[in-house]
A = this chain, B = another copy of it.
Amino acid sequence: MARTKSFNESEALKSAMLLFWQKGFAATSLKDLEHVMALNPTSIYNTFGNKRQLFQKALDCYLHNILSRLFESLVRSKTAKEALGNLLKEVIRLHFDKSHPGGCMVVLSVLENDQHDAKTKKILNSALRQLRSAITLRVEQGQKNGELKPDIDGRIIGNHVTALIAGMIAMAKAGFSRRELETLIHSSTEVLLR
């Protein structure tokens, strides 16, 4: 039988993702979802499941389409310092991109973790751990190439920069300016990695 759905599934999911990203899990009502997805409750349920299942699909969509850009920014550059700078620039760029609600769906969901089941918590934790590993790896590559001093501990820098990114997002949401956030690029590439 041919597909009879008259709506674009991935567009509807993207709309749900943007709403969860903006408001978090608890504050997003089914009514809100119906409105932004332009679907009735039955279509939402039949296609995406209940609110929790829809949230997990939206989170998956965020990880593959948005968070993935941070990982890409780390491999795009020639040097580890440049890579780290580009990573932080991408975090800032993403926050101020007018087509998005700003902030980060992962960080918001982590803070809201009382709302989530064990499976979602594991996905969130794993997203942050993957980011940390990618940073650590990039620093260690820079050491192997002779770009960075051997006395730097890549794992400690990985922890530090992961925390810094999550915190930058909190500061951005609190209203700190782009210029204030940009000072963190200098302190990370020139002070932390000097």
> Which of chain B's residues have a CB closer than 8 A to the CB of A184?
156, 159-160, 163
Task: Report A132-148 residues with CB < 8 Å from chain B CB.
Answer: none
Q: How many copies of this chain?
A: 2
In the assembly, what is the distance between CA of A112 and CA of B108, in Å? 7
Q: In terms of DSSP, what is the predominant structure of the interface of chain A?
A: helix
Q: Among B24, B164, B170, B175, point to the contact of A160 (Cβ < 8 A).
A: B164
Contacts A108-B112, A115-B27, A159-B183; is A170 near B166 (CB within 8 Å)?
A: yes
A157 close to B (CB within 8 Å): yes
Question: Which residues of B sit under 8 angstroms from A112, Cβ to Cβ?
Answer: 24, 27, 108, 111-112
Give CA–CA (A43, B151) in the complex, Å.
Answer: 61
A93-135 toward B: CB 8 Å interface, digit per residue (1/0)? 0000000010100011011111100000100110010000000
Contact B162 A24 (CB under 8 A): no
Closest CB pairs A-B (n = 6)? A167-B167, A163-B167, A26-B27, A166-B167, A166-B170, A26-B26
Chain B residues with CB under 8 A of A176? 125, 128, 159
Q: Is the CB of B156 within 8 A of A183?
A: yes
Instruction: Judge whether A63 is part of the interface by a CB distance below 8 angstroms.
Output: no
Which of A110, A111, A121, A180 has the largest count of B CB atoms less than 10 A from its CB? A111
Given contacts A156-B187, A159-B187, A187-B160, A173 and B26 within 8 Å (CB-CB) = no
